[in-house]
Amino acid sequence: MADDRQAAAPLQVTPVSGRQAGSKALIHIAFMVVGMGFARVFGMVSTFLVAHLLGPSLLGIWSTIRLIFVYGTINHLGVLEAYRKEVPRLEGAGNHTEANRIEGISLGFAWLSSIVLVFAGGIFLLLVRFYSPMSSVSLNLIPSIAMLFAVMGATVGTLLFDRFTVRHLFEQASILRGLRGFAYMLFLPSGAWLGDIIGVAIGFAFAEWSITLAAWFLAKGKCPPLAMAFDWNKIRELIRIGFPITLVWWAYLMETTFDRVVSITLLGSEQTGMYFMGITLASVLQMVPESLSRVFNPRLNEKNGET
């Protein structure tokens, strides 16, 4: 009986402390740079293949439809930003139970907010299709709906990815970064070849969900067990903490992507497609600062918890 109880006991995961991770900072940065480097290379190959298969005109339309994904990521209202701040702080203070509870609450809200976005966005798109059947939104109804499902996968997947970074498990985070780029290279050109914009949008959603599933499986044995939970008072507190940060990032994304809306309106889809290719090449330069933030932010929040 004792052996049976021991076999049934849940797997205990020993958290990595900030001090342990501090001695490996350069290694962690290297892991993230390598993972993001692979992701960028795969992403650039994917972009070139999609551009070749779609042509400049359809590529311009696709780059504009992708804005649904970019702007839709505000759906979590800052809960994920608060999660990145609060969980390392609680882990640093030794309050692992509360950290795990906030993780479950954040997961529950990520699912809930994503489902609400898909339903609300779907209803809006159908209303536009009904009242304005020849508008650009109506003509791209299926790709737009696919992007809503991509937002859902990315929202949940972001939390699952952050489970590794807040615990300094950058090897797994690096693997996921590389896998994401590989999934883009696999699904997007295949979708473009099979079904033009509809195919590439569905492929994009498949890529996001494949990484979400990969993150879930990689967490087994590395992160504590995770179950959805709902605590509306805690959710309001997390929104209060994280929403200002998310709003700033969202405003930044609008500033850096609104030019695509202006471009396709004034210049047309072909010139917008060429412009999008240039933006993709420039995004490679963002690797290093993003890697540094992923490594050092959890460590700083842990130190705040220790004090």
Q: Where are the domains of the chain?
A: 20-302
Q: Which amino acid belongs to residue 130? A: F
Task: Looking at the chain, list the stretches that DSSP marks H as alpha helix, in order from N- to C-terminal side.
Answer: 2-8, 18-22, 25-65, 67-72, 79-92, 96-131, 136-139, 141-165, 170-218, 232-266, 269-282, 287-306
- For the purposes of burial, counting CB atoms within 10 Å of the CB of 201, is it exposed (0-12), middle (13-18) or buried (19 or more)? buried
The pLDDT value recorded for residue 297 is 56
pLDDT tens per residue, range 159-181: 999 999 888 887 888 888 888 88
Residue carrying the six token digits 């705040």? 304
Candidate ranges 2-11, 17-26, 123-132; pick with highest mean pLDDT: 123-132
pLDDT tens per residue, range 209-254: 999 999 999 988 888 888 899 999 999 999 999 999 888 888 877 7
C-alpha span between 219 and 277 (Å, rounded):
35
Tell me the pLDDT of the chain averaged across its residues: 78
Q: Which amino acid belongs to residue 79? A: V
Find the helix packing angle between 232-266 and 79-92, rounded to 10°: 130
Q: Could you give the dihedral angle defined by the CA atoms of residues 135, 137, 143 and 144, in that order, rounded to the nearest 10 degrees?
A: -170
**What is the pTM (predicted TM-score) of this model?**
0.77
Short-list 145, 147, 189, 180, CA closest to 161: 180
